[in-house]
Amino acid sequence: MNVILYIIIFIMGSVFGSFLTLATYRIPLDQDITHKHSYCPKCNHKLGFLDMIPILSYIFIRGRCRYCKAKISPRYFIIEILCGISFVLLALMLEINVYTININTIINFILGALYIVFLFLIAGIDIEHHYIDKRVLAYGILINFFSLIYEFIYSESFNVNRIIIYFAIIVIVLIINTYEIKKKGKDSYAINIVILSIIMNLFTYELVTIISIVMTLLIIAFTEIIKSILKKDKKQEENEHLPMAFYLCIANCLTMFLPNFIMI
Residue 259 pLDDT exceeds 70: no
Least confident of 20-29, 85-94, 185-194, 228-237: 228-237
More confident residue, 209 or 228: 209
The rounded distance, in Å, linking the Cα atoms of 216 and 210 is 10
Mean pLDDT calculated for residue range 235-240: 53
Mean pLDDT calculated for residue range 82-97: 91
More confident residue, 259 or 56: 56
More confident residue, 149 or 264: 149
Mean pLDDT calculated for residue range 67-85: 87
More confident residue, 73 or 9: 9
What is the per-residue DSSP string for the chain? -HHHHHHHHHHHHHHHHHHHHHHHHHGGGT--SSSSPPB-TTT-PBP-GGG-STTHHHHHTTTB-TTT-PBPPTHHHHHHHHHHHHHHHHHHHTT--TTT--HHHHHHHHHHHHHHHHHHHHHHHHHHHSS--HHHHHHHHHHHHHHHHHHHHH-TT--HHHHHHHHHHHHHHHHHHHHHHHHHSS--HHHHHHHHHHHHHHHHHHHHHHHHHHHHHHHHHHHHHHHHHTT--HHHHHTS---HHHHHHHHHHHHHHHHHHHH-
Confidence bin at 61 (pLDDT 50/70/90): confident
The residue ranges of every structural domain in the chain are 1-101, 103-264
Q: What is the pLDDT of residues 165-212, one digit of tens each?
A: 888 888 888 888 888 777 777 778 888 999 999 999 989 888 899 999
Residue 180 contacts by C-beta under 8 Å, 6 or more apart in sequence? 187, 188, 191
Residue 140 pLDDT exceeds 80: yes
